[in-house]
Amino acid sequence: MKIQSYELGPIQTNAYVITNEELNRAVVIDPGMNPGKLIQRLQDAGTTVEAILLTHAHFDHMGGVDETRKAFGAPVYIHDLEAEWLTDPRKNGSLRWSEVTAPLVTDEAEYALDEGQMLKLIGLEFRVMHTPGHSPGSVSFLCGEHLFSGDVLFRQSVGRTDLPGGAERDLFDSIRGKLYKLAPQTTVYPGHGPRTSIGYEMQNNPYVPGQPR
């Protein structure tokens, strides 16, 4: 398994490409905005994209969905609580941040995500963890000891909860009740900023200190 990250768009959102190199097949997580370089690299390598997974539907994470979907014919997966956000610029935030982007609307997602769901893609398994707080339909994806956390958990920080649908208590419950129960060596790939690990955040995150095991 190969994991590549791309900083895309004006808010430098991390888009991730997970590739099974033996099959030359990939999954894209959060194609961000302006995903041209990501698409070009995959096309140059002749890689087949099996799926586009969204951790949540804020504009900086979903802005490149249709461009990526059309380039590869790949279906989109999102939690049901934010399915309508893809087609509503008020809900995905693009209408509010007019200085950053034009209003964004995409086609509907093909598939819904739910807590505990196991996605079998590119010869790997991705476990869906519903981790609300930053937004009601936020999810994290666990593949082996690799966690793609969206805007829930960052290196020594956490996602903001002051946007519509955000809830601080839900965010802390998601982190303590689900993410901190993962193995300490689990690598965390956040929606913004550098990677980290569960063990490091339990010891060093000033917003959500870890609980004794």
Of 76, 81, 66, 71, nearest to 48 (Cα)? 71
Q: Let me know if residue 210 belongs to a domain.
A: no
Asked whether residue 180 is assigned to any structural domain, the reply reads yes
Strands (E), the chain: 2-8, 13-20, 25-29, 48-53, 76-79, 111-113, 118-121, 124-130, 139-143, 146-150, 153-154, 157-158, 187-190, 196-197
211 within some domain: no
Average pLDDT over residues 13-17: 98
Asked whether residue 97 is assigned to any structural domain, the reply reads: yes
Does 213 reside within a domain? no
DSSP state of 98: T
- Amino acid type, 65: V
Residue 100 belongs to domain spanning: 2-204
**Is 100 inside any structural domain?**
yes
Please check whether residue 96 lies inside any domain of the structure. yes
**CATH number of the domain enclosing 161:** 3.60.15.10
Q: What is the pLDDT of residues 50-109, one digit of tens each?
A: 999 999 999 999 999 999 999 999 999 999 999 999 999 999 999 887 888 889 999 999
Q: Is the pLDDT of residue 113 over 90?
A: yes
The predicted model scores a pTM of 0.96
Query: Is residue 213 predicted with pLDDT exceeding 80?
Result: no
Task: Examine residue 212 and state whether it is found in any structural domain, yes or no.
Answer: no
Residue that has been written with the tokens 């990939």 in this structure? 26
Residue 37, C-beta contacts closer than 8 angstroms, at least 6 positions apart: 6, 8
Its sign, for the CA torsion 192, 13, 86, 90, is positive
Copy the structure tokens of residue 59: 């504009």
Q: How many domains, the chain?
A: 1
Residue 155 Cα distances to 107, 162, 195, 200, 208, angstroms: 32, 19, 7, 8, 11
